[in-house]
Amino acid sequence: MKILTTNFVQCTVKACGSSPDCFPLHFDQQTEDMPLELAHEDVDYSPEFVYNILPRIDWPALLITAHELGNDQLPMNKPEIKDPRAPEHEQLLKDLHILLLETQITQGTMRCANCGHLYFIRDSIANFLLPGHLVP
């Protein structure tokens, strides 16, 4: 599961739909059953893609996710980039590319801060299916 994907998913438990705590889902670093594992996958660098996806990114949620994964290098405020080819933005766009597109969660859990439900990630695939007692 790429980090980019985590910025677009929230808890699927119906009761959480109206809670602001259902997003972002939080990564549990030390779950006994399933420790968090990250991998790096080489993806062709495209500053235009990162530039175009940036307006769709929930920046506070990305900061939380990055921090939980040990990355504290992002600026506190969402950057305003006018030209993705400008040299002054090159390093930031590369850092975002690495975080969003090349960093992959291969195993672990995500937890809803509202209801505490755990979503398991195995072989880079997150399971968002709910158990029977949580399905409306």
- 19-59 pLDDT, tens per residue? 999 999 999 766 667 788 999 999 999 999 999 999 999 99
- 68-90 pLDDT, tens per residue? 998 999 999 999 998 888 899 99
Task: Say whether pLDDT at 133 is over 80.
Answer: no
Mean pLDDT of 6-30: 89
Candidates 101, 99, 93; CA nearest to 44 is 101
Instruction: Please compute Rg for the chain using Cα positions.
Output: 16
Q: Is residue 30 in a domain?
A: yes
**Average pLDDT for the chain:** 91
Mean pLDDT of 13-21: 88
Amino acid identity, residue 26? H
100: left (phi over 0), alpha (psi -120 to 50) or beta: alpha
Count CB neighbours of 113 within 10 A: 16
* CATH number of the CATH domain containing 49: 2.20.25.10
Q: Residue written as tokens 């599961």?
A: 1
Mean pLDDT of 118-125: 93
Residues of the domain holding 87: 3-130
Q: Is residue 67 in a domain?
A: yes
Q: C-alpha angle with apex 60: 43 to 64, nearest 5 degrees?
A: 70
Contact 1, 56 (CB under 8 A): no
How many distinct structural domains can be found in the chain?
A: 1
